[in-house]
Copies of this chain bind each other. A is one copy, B any other.
Amino acid sequence: MPLIQPRTLKGFRDYLPSVMIPREQMMGVARDVFRSFGFAPIDTPVLEYLEILTGKGSDETDRQIYRFEDNGGRSVGMRFDLTVPLARFAAQHIGTLGTPFKRYHIAPVWRGENPQAGRYREFVQCDFDTIGTESVLADIEAVAVINRLLEQLGFDRFTISLNNRVILTGLLEGLSLADRTVPILRTLDKLAKIGFEKTKTEMCSVAEISEEQALKVLALAGCDGDADSIFERLPEITGNNEMAATGIERLKDIYQGAVASGVPATRLKVDVSIARGLDYYTGVIFETTLDDLPAIGSVCSGGRYDNLAGLYTKQHLPGIGASLGLDRLLAAMEQLGLLPNASTPAPVFVAFFDRDYRDDYLQLAANLRQAGIGTEIYPDARKLGAQLKYADQKGFTAAIVAGGNEWSERRVQVKHLATKEAVKVEYQHGQPERLINELRNLIEQ
């Protein structure tokens, strides 16, 4: 029989240990941060009825859904984000769960888009949301979660940009352009990419508004500088529109609350130009960029919405949340060589030196694991050189070498793989304390 070519589908990838180890570590960090704020985990099926998934994002999103008919003749699709499943989940279970409901969800999603560098058709998202409250405290907390998340993932230099949709909504209301909000927002989203003039032209044609009106919208988007000066100038731009004034006050409140709860002001930027294409945001919106990797775009985005699950239930469910694009962040770190280079999660390697002492190696390893020290035994009694080369390549910290002499002396050799230094350490089964101390010193160095 001819061999089947082993390959992954276009736009998909395998995760080898050297990338999967930091990926798991990042997921663990995200979980810990979410949990520390009282967000609880949920999970939903990868497959949903197609009618649940379609018509929620743009036409483009709909085209990207992996869809098919299952054996029971049902039209089904693979989720393309974690927000639509959350809306369905909330509509179905909120009676049991009660509000406020705070959940996180770390899981893969699928989009049949054309793969680009660092972007795949399958990728993990980390979402958190607080549902069933309009409180500004939940908005402030979302900023604090994003800050803690990036900090715990090892980033120091990043910027959380904040805006409030209500300000623009108020301005448009004042200009009698409320019915043009969607095309105006979509065009505004391109400002950073295509520049002032092109945005203006496109806005006039797509949203069918006058140049004067477009200029007023762009004057708002162009209001930049430090937070204090923006908050001072915004009311002038929005004029006496009451909705805009409320929006400005709320944004100020979120900004100040975030600083009060410990988010460094240097990481916060009020940026009234960000719009976030998705139409369902109605309040504060966030984007997060890494100061040293601006090219990868926002790594954590989200915002407040008026009504999460209006398509599935009559219950009004306002909420706020954000999504960390974990795999995109990981791909960027991988490309830039920012990932540590180890392919073993255990620090200690035991060479299998002498077949007659097999059970001794097994007992020694069991003793170390009992003390919480991850330990791998080489499975074959091959030449020591080959075993130590393997240990070196995998990135173990220490190797334990023991042959007949060592076992009868009740001392084993501990080799520090980075420095090649070796010491002999007392060891007996059931009395591993000295060996454990020696290994802990090496691991913690």
Contact = CB atoms under 8 A, between A and B. Distances in A.
A363 B7 CA distance: 52
B37 A369 contact: yes
28 contacts: A4-B51, A4-B52, A6-B52, A6-B91, A6-B313, A8-B45, A9-B48, A9-B76, A14-B42, A14-B92, A16-B42, A17-B40, A37-B346, A37-B375, A38-B346, A39-B345, A46-B110, A46-B122, A67-B68, A133-B379, A137-B352, A137-B361, A137-B377, A141-B379, A148-B369, A257-B358, A261-B359, A261-B362
Copies of this protein chain in the complex: 2
Contacts of A309: 6
Given A41-B20, A45-B13, A393 B6 contact: no
Interface string A333-376: 00000000001111001001000001101110110010011111
Interface string A250-287: 00000001001110000000000000000000000000
A415 interface: no
Interface in A122-150: 122, 130, 133, 135, 137-138, 140-141, 144, 148
A134 to B, nearest CB: 8
A108 B346 CA distance: 25
Nearest to A358: B137
Interface pairs A-B: 4 shortest CB-CB = A38-B376, A68-B68, A17-B40, A261-B362
Contacts of A257: 358-359, 362
Contact of A89 (B14, B43, B361, B377): B14
A359 B12 contact: no
Given A14-B44, A46-B122, A97-B343, 6 more contacts: A3-B313, A4-B311, A14-B89, A40-B345, A47-B122, A262-B362
A98 interface: yes
B23 A262 contact: no
A254 to B, nearest CB: 12
A7 B138 contact: no
Interface string A81-105: 0000000110111001110101100
Interface of A: 1, 3-10, 12-17, 20-21, 23-24, 31, 35-49, 51-52, 63, 66-72, 74, 76, 78, 88-89, 91-93, 96-98, 100, 102-103, 108, 110, 112, 122, 130, 133, 135, 137-138, 140-141, 144, 148, 257, 260-262, 309, 311-314, 343-346, 349, 352, 358-359, 361-363, 365-366, 369, 372-380, 390, 393
A35 B345 contact: yes
Nearest to A37: B376
Given A260-B359, A261-B359, A362-B257, A378 B100 contact: yes
A241 B135 CA distance: 78
Contacts of A91: 6
Contact of A10 (B41, B72, B369): B72
Contacts of A43: 14-15, 20, 23
B48 A8 contact: yes
Q: Which interface residue of A63, A133, A374 has the most chain B CB atoms within 10 A?
A: A374
Given A359-B257, A366-B262, A15 B42 contact: yes
A103 B35 CA distance: 28
Contacts of A74: 9-10
A380 B135 contact: yes
A61 to B, nearest CB: 14
A16 B23 CA distance: 25
Given A4-B312, A7-B92, A345 B47 contact: no
A253 to B, nearest CB: 9
A45 B47 CA distance: 15
Nearest to A377: B137
Q: Which interface residue of A39, A96, A309 has the most chain B CB atoms within 10 A?
A: A39
